Amino acid sequence: AQSVTQPDIHITVSEGASLELRCNYSYGATPYLFWYVQSPGQGLQLLLKYFSGDTLVQGIKGFEAEFKRSQSSFNLRKPSVHWSDAAEYFCAVGAGRLTGGGNKLTFGTGTQLKVEL
Amino acid sequence: DSGVTQTPKHLITATGQRVTLRCSPRSGDLSVYWYQQSLDQGLQFLIHYYNGEERAKGNILERFSAQQFPDLHSELNLSSLELGDSALYFCASSARDGTDTQYFGPGTRLTVL
């Protein structure tokens, strides 16, 4: 069974500082990987996704993530955080590679990001 | 805006009651997924429908059921409600593109008193 671990429950960074949110997954093959962001009272917005190919993927709002197979990680990064980035971030894994898509997503517990002005 | 719509946005009801949550997927998407988000359980997959057929079940209680209609909208029915059913319920839809990319609606916040 697939699983996702987000070891940091809360992270606080200063506006303009760089950010890295950690995500480790457990899956028997190379999974499909996703990062979503949830603002208070809002739904989940897709930030970026990895399926194959280049291990560094670019997303919306200036975010990027790097897939590292050897570390089973898919960490999210942003070079300069803005106050509007304060939200909860979820890493998710899908099993689609084996079945051609159409699978549930398994989510981590989320990391709450606070941005200090 | 993901293109996925959910109604109602908020729902307050009493224990023992039954409610229906509605979801309309993005135009052209055949798959609808339901998830529950609660403080103690996090985001949990409930059920997946594809073009009207149930494809997968997750941690969905027997008191809960869902269906997807010919126009592809989906409804999640929750019955004999308990205090612990209070949560945010999301639906998501995905395209038939060989990936698991899912687009989420804004959610329905259910409060059981």
Query: What residues of chain B lie within 8 A of the CB of A100, using their CB?
Result: 98
Tell me the mean pLDDT in the region A85-94.
96
Q: What is the pLDDT of residue A53?
A: 84
- What does DSSP assign to residue A97? H
Q: At residue A17, does pLDDT exceed 80?
A: yes
A95 → chain B, closest CA residue: B100
Give the confidence band of A30 by pLDDT, cuts at 50, 70, 90.
confident
Q: What is the pLDDT of residue A33?
A: 93
Q: Which of B99, B100, B102 to mutate to test the interface with A (most CBs of A within 10 A)?
A: B100
Q: At residue B31, does pLDDT exceed 60?
A: yes
Tell me the mean pLDDT in the region A80-93.
97
What gap in Å lies between CA B104 and CA B89, rounded to an integer? Answer: 10
Give the confidence band of B60 by pLDDT, cuts at 50, 70, 90.
very high
Question: Smallest CA–CA separation between A64 and chain B, in Å?
Answer: 17
Contacts 24+ apart (CB under 8 A), B23-26: B23/B73, B23/B74, B23/B75, B23/B76, B23/B91, B23/B93, B23/B105, B24/B72, B24/B73, B25/B72, B25/B73, B25/B74, B25/B91, B25/B93, B26/B2, B26/B93, B26/B95, B26/B103
Both tokens of residue A99? 């079945």
Q: What is the pLDDT of residue A98?
A: 56
Give the confidence band of A72 by pLDDT, cuts at 50, 70, 90.
very high
What gap in Å lies between CA A112 and CA B11, rounded to an integer? Answer: 26
Residue A43 to residue B90, Cβ atoms within 8 A: yes
Q: What is the pLDDT of residue A101?
A: 55
Q: At residue A97, does pLDDT exceed 60?
A: no
Residue A103 to residue B31, Cβ atoms within 8 A: no
For A69, list phi and psi in degrees, rounded to 5.
-60, -40
Q: What is the mean pLDDT of chain B?
A: 94
